[in-house]
Amino acid sequence: MARSRRFIELRPADRGSPTRWSSSLVFPLPFKTSRDKSKPRNADPLQGANSILGIGRASAHQFAENGAKAVYICDYDATNLEAHKREINALWPQVEVHTRQFDAADEAAVKAVVDDAMARYGRLDVFFANAGTVGPHALFTDISAADFMDVLRVNSLSVFLAAKHGAPAMQKTSAAKPAPLGSIIVTASVAGLRSNAGSTPYSASKAAVVSMAQTVAYQLAGTGVRVNALCPGLIETGMTAMVFDAARARGTQGKIGQLNPLKRAGHADEIARVALFLGSDESSYVNGQAWAVDGGLSAGHPYVPGRLG
């Protein structure tokens, strides 16, 4: 696995939807790592890949750069998908890139993208379920039942469907893939680990994602398929663009991320690098875990020195 220190810059004018994203990356042919070049990684659906600033786009770059044979980039909003495809093709022309527009909580659509990868390549090795929505920014008493359930549908049901259809495909064997194996990566959040990092429906939906990573990992015992959750902290993406833009307008961007020990916000590429690790053989003994990638925010209880009361 390549270990370049470069960050992918994600700051064009068109930032995509600020509140909802849903994309899938599928890598359906050999995805090799530095540990064992004889063990291929084949298909990886990656969700939430449309946003110019997003974790999905950065992850597509990481997997393409590090040996994915084919990538499916999928999103609810297809505005930037073809541009992302051209970008990846220009940088890594050997990678086969497919784009799909669908709702990640639509079971038929999720099954269709997995079936397409299996039909074309005969294997699925990685599924990055990165779909998500923020939902309303409001006190829980001001949120309707419909809005609450919509957040869970997008953030939690999409993960369930990715595992439901991705895991059986990963267990299919062939001459090129003699043993069942695969990695399902799901995007949760530090809001799913502790309170006060998001709204009630958002936090509940992300806690559900962490729980699914743990329970599904046990239900897949002995299959060779691993499931892990990524829990990003404050990352500049299409979803958080308003926060960063407002801070820049006020000249207070240096204050963003000051509650974590690194005292800065994160880059989408920093999450993508962990996704790459979890999708590779480098993480072959990592399973059922919630990986906080948050600058250390969840390691303690943030406070302002001198103001403990």
> Which residues, in sequence order, are CB contacts of 128 under 8 Å at separation 6+?
24, 25, 44, 45, 46, 47, 56, 59, 185, 187, 275, 279
Tokens representing residue 10 in the block: 């994600």
Q: For residue 194, report the phi and psi dihedrals to the nearest 5 degrees.
A: -155, 165
**Is residue 32 within 8 Å of residue 53, measured between CB atoms?**
no
In angstroms, the CA 46 to CA 282 distance is 19
In angstroms, the CA 217 to CA 72 distance is 24
In angstroms, the CA 97 to CA 85 distance is 6
> Which candidate in 72, 76, 121, 202 is catalytic?
202
Is 121 catalytic? The answer is no
Q: Which residues lie across from 73 on neighbouring strands?
A: 46, 99
Which positions are annotated as active-site residues? Answer: 202
